[in-house]
Amino acid sequence: MEEKTSTFLIIASTVAALGGLLFGFDTAVISGTTPFIQPFFHLSDVGLGWTVSSLLIGCIIGVTLSGRPGDLFGRRNTLRAAALVFFVSAVGSSLAARLWVFIVFRFFGGIAVGTASMLSPMYISEISPGARRGALVSLNQLAIVIGILIAFFSNYLLVGVGPDNWRWMLAVMGLPALFFFISLLFVPESPRWLVQKGKTEEAFGILSRINGSEKASTELRDIESSVHNEERGTYREVFSKELRPLLMIGVLLAIFQQMTGINSIMYYAPIIFQKIGNGTSSALMQTIAVGAVNLTFTIVSLKLIDRWGRKPLLIVGAIGMVVSLAVIAIAFFTHHFEGYLILVFILIFIASFAVSIGPVAWVVIAEIFPNKLRSKAMSVAIVTLWTFTFLVSLTFPVILDRLGGGAAFAIFGVMCLLLLFYVIFRLPETKGKSLEELERILVSKRG
C-alpha cells in the first residue's frame, strides 16, 4: 500500500514538474536560434534583445493571470491549457515568416511559461503531504534545469540541418508540450482546490490514494481549515507593514537571482562563445557543457540544502560567482581569451549559481510566507523574478555590444558581492523548521 501510494504521488508530481521542464526548454531554446534569427529577421542588437525578451513579457503576464483560472477551473485544467499554448507557440514561432508573428508566438509561449512557473509548484505542494513538500518543490527546479539541458542538446543536434535549423529547434518543443498535455489527462485534480470548490468527497478519494484513508481524514480536516484561513489573505495584507520584511526577502532573492547574470549566459551563451572566437557548432557544444554542469550542481544542491542549510550554500555560491565573474570580466577587458580560460570560469560560475541562489531562491520564496498569504506573496516575488529576467536579457546584448563583456560581467560580479553581504548580515536561516514554526519565528520577530 505504502509503495503504491508513493508511486501515485511521484507520478502526479513528476507530471506537474513537466511544466518546469517546458519552462526550462522554452526559455533556453532561444539561445541556439539567436545566431540565425538575427540575420534572418535583420535584427539590430536592440531588436535581438526585444525578440528574446518577448517571451519574458508573456511570463510576467502569465504569472499575474494564472491565479484566477487556476482558482476557477482548477490547477490541472489550467496546466492543460498551458500545455496547449506551449504547443501552439512552438509550432507558430517555428513557422513564422515575419518578425511580428515570431514575437507574438513567443509571447504566448511566455504566458504558458509564467503559468507553469506558478501552477506547477502550487499543484505539487497542494497534492503532497507536508513532510515531503520541500523536496518536491525542488523537483520542479530540477525539471527546469533538465529542460534547459535538453534544449541545448537538441539545438546542438539540429544546428546542421540547413537554413531552417532554427525553425526545427523551436518546433521540437511541440513534442514535450504534447506529452505534457496527454499525461495531464491521467493525474487527479489538486485535492486542495477540490475542497475549495466543495467537492470534499472527490478530494477525500484522492487523499486516500496518496496517504491511505486513515491519514486522509486528518489531512482533509487540515486542508479544510487552511482553505478557510487562506480566504482571509488579501493583497493588502501581503503589502502590510507586518509582512514587508518577509516580502523584502522574497523580492530581494528574486532580484539577486537574476542580477547574477545567469540568463545572459543561458540565453546568449553561443553568442558569447562566438565573440571569443569559436565557431557556431563548437559554441553550441560548449553550451551543452553549461547545461550539464548546471544539472550536476543542482543535484548537489538538492542533497545539501536540508543538511547545510540555505545560508552556507548561498555564501559558498556567491563567493564562487564573484571570483569567476571577476576573472571573466578581466579576460574581456584585456582580450585574453586563450584556450578554454573563459569556458572554465563560465562553468565555475554556473556551478556556483546552481548550487546556491538557483534553487535556494525558489525554495525560500516557497517557504518564508505564512500559509494564508503564501500564494499571493509568492506571485509578487515571482513576478519580480520574471521582470528582472526580462530586464537583464533585454539589456545584455546592448551592453555587450556598446560597453563590452568586461563591463557586463563586472556589473554582475558587483551584484554577487552585494548578495554575499546580504546573506551574511541580513538573511535568516530557514533550514529544518516546519512552515508553521517559520511563520511564528519570522512574523513575530520581524513584525
Interhelix angle for 357-367 vs 310-334, to 10°?
140
Q: Which stretch binds ligand BGC (CB under 6 A): 244-252, 256-264, 328-336, 426-434?
A: 256-264
Minimum distance from residue 385 beta carbon to ligand BGC (Å): 6
Q: Note whether 144 binds ligand BGC by CB under 6 A.
A: yes
Minimum distance from residue 6 beta carbon to ligand BGC (Å): 26
Q: Note whether 145 binds ligand BGC by CB under 6 A.
A: yes
Looking at the Cβ atoms of 243 and 364, the one nearer to ligand BGC is 364
Looking at the Cβ atoms of 151 and 216, the one nearer to ligand BGC is 151
Q: Note whether 286 binds ligand BGC by CB under 6 A.
A: no
Looking at the Cβ atoms of 146 and 159, the one nearer to ligand BGC is 146
Q: Which stretch binds ligand BGC (CB under 6 A): 35-43, 90-98, 262-270, 278-286?
A: 262-270
Residue among 21, 119, 127, 266 that touches ligand BGC (CB under 6 A): 266
CA 74/CA 80 separation, integer angstroms? 10
Q: Note whether 262 binds ligand BGC by CB under 6 A.
A: yes
Q: Note whether 387 binds ligand BGC by CB under 6 A.
A: no
Output the CA torsion sign for 237, 239, 245, 250.
positive
Could you tell me if 367 and 439 are in contact, meaning their C-beta atoms sit under 8 angstroms apart?
no
From residue 99, how far is each of 92, 93, 158, 316, 427 by CA, in Å? 12, 9, 22, 43, 44
Q: Note whether 389 binds ligand BGC by CB under 6 A.
A: yes
Looking at the Cβ atoms of 27 and 54, the one nearer to ligand BGC is 27
Looking at the Cβ atoms of 293 and 411, the one nearer to ligand BGC is 293
Q: Note whether 260 binds ligand BGC by CB under 6 A.
A: no
Q: Note whether 320 binds ligand BGC by CB under 6 A.
A: no
Could you tell me if 334 and 443 are in contact, meaning their C-beta atoms sit under 8 angstroms apart?
no
Q: Note whether 263 binds ligand BGC by CB under 6 A.
A: yes
Minimum distance from residue 124 beta carbon to ligand BGC (Å): 16
Looking at the Cβ atoms of 154 and 263, the one nearer to ligand BGC is 263
Q: Which residue type occupies 157?
A: L
User: What is the pattern of x (binds ligand BGC, CB under 6 A) and - over residues 12-41?
Assistant: ---------------x--------------
Q: Note whether 305 binds ligand BGC by CB under 6 A.
A: no
Binding-residue total with ligand BGC (CB under 6 A): 13
Q: Which stretch binds ligand BGC (CB under 6 A): 4-12, 96-104, 202-210, 255-263?
A: 255-263
Looking at the Cβ atoms of 165 and 260, the one nearer to ligand BGC is 260
Q: Note whether 207 binds ligand BGC by CB under 6 A.
A: no
Phi and psi angles of residue 74, each rounded to the nearest 5 degrees, phi first: 100, 155
Q: Note whether 93 binds ligand BGC by CB under 6 A.
A: no
Nearest to 408 by CA among 349, 340, 344: 349
Residue among 294, 352, 356, 430 that touches ligand BGC (CB under 6 A): 294
Can you tell me which residue has the cell 530557514?
Answer: 430
Residue 446 burial class via C-beta count within 10 angstroms: exposed 0-12, middle 13-18, buried 19 and up: middle
Sites of contact with ligand BGC (CB under 6 A): 27, 141, 144-145, 148, 257, 262-263, 266, 294, 358, 362, 389
